Amino acid sequence: RKEVEQDPGPFNVPEGATVAFNCTYSNSASQSFFWYRQDCRKEPKLLMSVYSSGNEDGRFTAQLNRASQYISLLIRDSKLSDSATYLCVVPNYGGSQGNLIFGKGTKLSVKP
Amino acid sequence: NAGVMQNPRHLVRRRGQEARLRCSPMKGHSHVYWYRQLPEEGLKFMVYLQKENIIDESGMPKERFSAEFPKEGPSILRIQQVVRGDSAAYFCASSLPPGQNTEAFFGQGTRLTVV
């Protein structure tokens, strides 16, 4: 299994739709996980951190399943501005955000 | 409080030349990380440095690439004798000492094009 693997995408959805991305990881010792957002030709920015079973922030919900080693990101009521690439990220050391292993990303395109 | 500053934003080099990429971390951050993103690929970790120390260089190519983070001044990623395959976006990130709640902030990247 690759270190961090994501849905290949792209996801093309209409405004208002609910969309979910999955991500699997290989290091069973990983304790914390992150979703970053990267806009075209821009730097990644932290969207959400996941330390326990899940995290919710407005329209965004991240869930963690340690037994199956996957993390999901759910976006409700999609907005045009949600169009971006979403990167699943797993630290290489414990809880450090420093040495991060990035998935290849899933591209989301929200259409009017 | 300025964010992570990288320069230049765009860099064009001919094959065989040297490329020097600079990264100034956020104020108060002493930990710097370099990542490379090839076209249509995800970000790949290259190297993790503290002031004057290389902590982890497991992602650095064995030849032609080097990195430093001197006591004074920015971190430098140096690529000698560049080849076309080095064309990529190089992102720098900085953080406080790593811990569970430590966020890494990224600079806007340097886009290297080797012609």
- Residue B41 DSSP class: S
Is there a contact between B33 and A49 if contact means CB atoms under 8 Å apart? Answer: no
Distances (CA, A) of B108 to A101, B82, B105: 19, 22, 10
Tens digit of each residue's pLDDT (9 = 90 or more) over A66-97: 889 999 999 999 999 999 999 998 877 644 44
| Cβ-based contacts of B99 with chain A (< 8 Å) | 95-96
Given a contact cutoff of 8 angstroms between Cβ atoms, the answer to whether A6 and A106 are in contact is: yes
Tens digit of each residue's pLDDT (9 = 90 or more) over B53-99: 998 888 899 999 999 999 999 999 999 999 999 999 999 999 887 66
- Residue B38 DSSP class: -
C-alpha angle B6-B8-B13 in degrees, rounded to nearest 5: 135
Residue of B nearest to A51 (CA): B100
Written as one string, the DSSP assignment of B2-13 is ---EEE-SEEEE
| Cβ-based contacts of B41 with chain A (< 8 Å) | 104
**Residue B59: what residue type?**
G
pLDDT tens, chain A, 112 aa long:
568 899 878 999 999 999 999 999 987 777 788 899 999 889 999 999 888 878 899 999 999 998 899 999 999 999 999 999 999 988 776 444 457 788 889 999 999 9
Q: What are the start-end ranges of the H helices in chain A?
A: none
Q: Which of A99, A101, A102, A106 to mutate against chain B (most B CBs within 10 Å)?
A: A99
- Residue A98 DSSP class: S
A112 burial level (CB within 10 Å; 0-12, 13-18, 19+): exposed
Among A46, A49, A101, the residue with its CB nearest the CB of B45 is A101
| Cβ-based contacts of B93 with chain A (< 8 Å) | 98
B74 vs B29: which has the higher pLDDT:
B74
Give the tokens for residue A105: 């990303």
